Amino acid sequence: MLRTCTLYRLSLPLRLPMRTAHGDIRDKQAILVQLKDDEGIEGWAECVALAEPTYTEECADSAWTVLVHHLLPRMARWLRAVGEDVDPRNACEAFRDVRGNRMSVAALEMAIWDWQAARKGQPLIELLGGGRDRVDVGVTLGMSESLDALIQSVETAVEQGFRRVKLKIEPGHDLAPLQAIRHRYPDLAIAADANGSYRAEHAHILQQLDVYNLEFIEQPLAEDDWFDLAELQATLRTPICLDESIRSVSELRLAARLGAARTLNVKPGRLGGFAATLQILAAAHEAGIATWVGGMYETGVGRLHGLMAASLPSMNHETDLGPSSRYFERDLLKEPIVFAEPGVIQVPRCCGVADWVDREAVRRFSTAIWSADLRTL
Position 320 contacts Mg ion (CB under 5 A): no
C-alpha distances in Å from residue 264, one per residue of 1, 218, 279, 304 = 37, 9, 13, 20
Strand 189-193 relative to strand 164-168, pairing: parallel
Q: Which region, judged by CB under 5 A, interacts with Mg ion, from 38-46, 167-175, 212-220, 302-310?
A: 212-220
Which residue number, 42 or 170, has a Cβ lying nearer to Mg ion? 170
Query: Widest CA span of the chain, in angstroms?
Result: 62
Is 28 one of the catalytic residues?
no
Which residue number, 284 or 353, has a Cβ lying nearer to Mg ion? 284
Q: Which region, judged by CB under 5 A, interacts with Mg ion, from 122-130, 218-226, 338-346, 348-356?
A: 218-226
Which residue number, 46 or 193, has a Cβ lying nearer to Mg ion? 193
Strand 217-218 relative to strand 240-242, pairing: parallel
Which residue number, 109 or 243, has a Cβ lying nearer to Mg ion? 243
Which of 58, 170, 193, 223 touches Mg ion (CB under 5 A)? 193
Strands (E), 21-80: 23-37, 42-47
Rounded least distance, CB 107 to Mg ion, Å = 19
Which residue number, 114 or 193, has a Cβ lying nearer to Mg ion? 193
Which residue number, 272 or 348, has a Cβ lying nearer to Mg ion? 272
Is 168 one of the catalytic residues?
yes
117 φ, ψ to 5°? -60, -45
C-alpha distances in Å from residue 193, one per residue of 169, 196, 216, 222, 362 = 6, 8, 8, 12, 31
Report helix angle 249-258 to 274-287, nearest 10: 20
> How many residues sit close enough to Mg ion to count as binding (CB under 5 A)?
3
Rounded least distance, CB 330 to Mg ion, Å = 26
Query: Does residue 276 contact residue 114 with C-beta atoms inside 8 Å?
Result: no
Q: Using CB positions, name the residue nearest to Mg ion.
A: 243
Rounded least distance, CB 32 to Mg ion, Å = 23
What is the C-alpha separation between 299 and 60, in angstroms, rounded?
A: 14
Query: Does residue 71 contact residue 327 with C-beta atoms inside 8 Å?
Result: no
What is the C-alpha separation between 205 and 203, in angstroms, rounded?
A: 5
Which of 174, 243, 298, 331 touches Mg ion (CB under 5 A)? 243
Catalytic residue among 28, 36, 267, 334: 267
Q: Which region, judged by CB under 5 A, interacts with Mg ion, from 53-61, 134-142, 152-160, 237-245?
A: 237-245
Q: What share of the chain is helix, strand, coil (3-state, %, to 5)?
A: 40, 25, 35
Contacts of 221 (CB under 8 A, 6+ apart): 194, 196, 198, 199, 200, 228, 229, 232
Catalytic residue among 28, 36, 166, 168: 168
Rounded least distance, CB 111 to Mg ion, Å = 24
Which residue number, 218 or 228, has a Cβ lying nearer to Mg ion? 218
Q: Which region, judged by CB under 5 A, interacts with Mg ion, from 63-71, 178-186, 190-198, 299-307?
A: 190-198
What is the C-alpha separation between 88 and 96, in angstroms, rounded?
A: 14
Rounded least distance, CB 194 to Mg ion, Å = 8
Instruction: Report, as residue numbers or ranges, the catalytic residues.
Output: 168, 267
| List of residues contacting Mg ion (CB under 5 A) | 193, 218, 243
